[in-house]
Amino acid sequence: MTRPNSPEADSPTTDTESVELTPEVLQRVREGLAAARSPQVQRHTQTALTQIAAVAQDQADPRVSGRFRHWLLKRFIRLLFRVKVESPEKMPQGPVVLVANHLSHLDPFLILAAVPAHPYYYILGDARTLYNQRWKRWVVGQSGGVIPLERWWKEEVAVMQQAESDRPDLKELAAAIQSDVPNGRSIKQMRQIDQAVQAILQRGDGLMLFPEGRLGEQEGQLHVPLKRGTVIYALRSGVPIVPVAIAGTQTLFFRKQLTLRFGDPLIFGQHARPKRAAIDDALGQLEAAMWQLLDRDYQEPAGAKPLQNWLNHLFW
């Protein structure tokens, strides 16, 4: 049984009431199923999980230098986009949990291209979206620093639920999801990830999280409630949380200006076994800080949008 104050308590399979199974959503589900079945995705995921298991035992994991990763990603990102960093003096210099809103699968690469090489950030993210394209497998495989989560997407849960109610046409797809997609309910694996996170923060590295648990649907907005695991990791380790607001990545085109806005660190102290009240208080402070950083009046630039379709597909 999952403990109320455990990161494992954040289910990836909730909030399906608002999911409309449009043809586009069903196509994403089918692509996700194909990624789950892909030998390349499975191999890279297993390699990363093996490395994380080593970290959980305080062993070294193979990774390139932070300077090389920063150099590679900075040149890659700035070749395609213009990047504006606001309040760069607030970029953390020591171990933190770096927390951002989430609009595109470009987001973690954008942040890594902007922050200093130290601390070395580990990305906690969905395995299939980290490894679903060849270039991602190469970049992530070369640089390391990934904690992959294997889980059902909310769209997949919606397919399974509707297949059992009023959409018998979805039964075959639902059965394939149940058979071939890991559901994210392995308590053993989640506890191992939790141990690895604590080891990462204790040795002076950082963690990057997207607490919405999904891609946002609109610039300047935040999907709430945020996942509790975000603040639990920080409370257990005693490291600060640094909020970051991302603007411009929901729709991409060549040389578009993307903005990162860093906020003040949130410091809560260390709680080996954080109580629900402390978790809720920290989560409330984080949510308020992120709302304050977001650009509520964001407007998409007018004019031509070169390579829009290609770039949005590239960072799917």
Domain extent listing, the chain = 64-120+205-314
How much of the chain, in percent, has pLDDT values that exceed 90?
68
Buried b (16+ CB within 10 A) or exposed e, 178-197: eeebbebeeeebbebbbbbb
pLDDT digits (tens, 9 = 90+) for 58-83: 888 888 888 988 998 999 999 999 99
pLDDT surpassing 80 at residue 162: yes
CA distances from 244 to 107, 210, 249, 260 (A): 11, 10, 14, 7
pLDDT surpassing 80 at residue 112: yes
pLDDT digits (tens, 9 = 90+) for 199-233: 999 999 999 999 998 888 899 999 999 999 889 99
- Give the predicted TM-score (pTM) of the model: 0.87
Give the chain's mean pLDDT.
90
* Rounded average pLDDT over 149-153: 91
What one-letter code names the amino acid at 225?
Answer: P
**pLDDT reported for residue 15:** 58
Lowest mean pLDDT among 8-12, 40-44, 178-182, 304-308: 8-12
**pLDDT reported for residue 155:** 92
Task: Specify the length of the chain in residues.
Answer: 316
Q: Is 26 in contact with 158 (CB distance < 8 Å)?
A: no
Query: To which residue do tokens 């970049």 refer?
Result: 139
CA–CA–CA angle 228, 231, 235 (5° rounding): 130
pLDDT surpassing 60 at residue 7: no
The span from the CA of 255 to the CA of 79, in Å, is: 8
* Position with higher pLDDT, 136 vs 5: 136
**pLDDT reported for residue 5:** 46
**pLDDT reported for residue 62:** 80
pLDDT digits (tens, 9 = 90+) for 246-295: 999 999 999 999 999 999 999 998 998 999 999 999 999 999 999 999 99
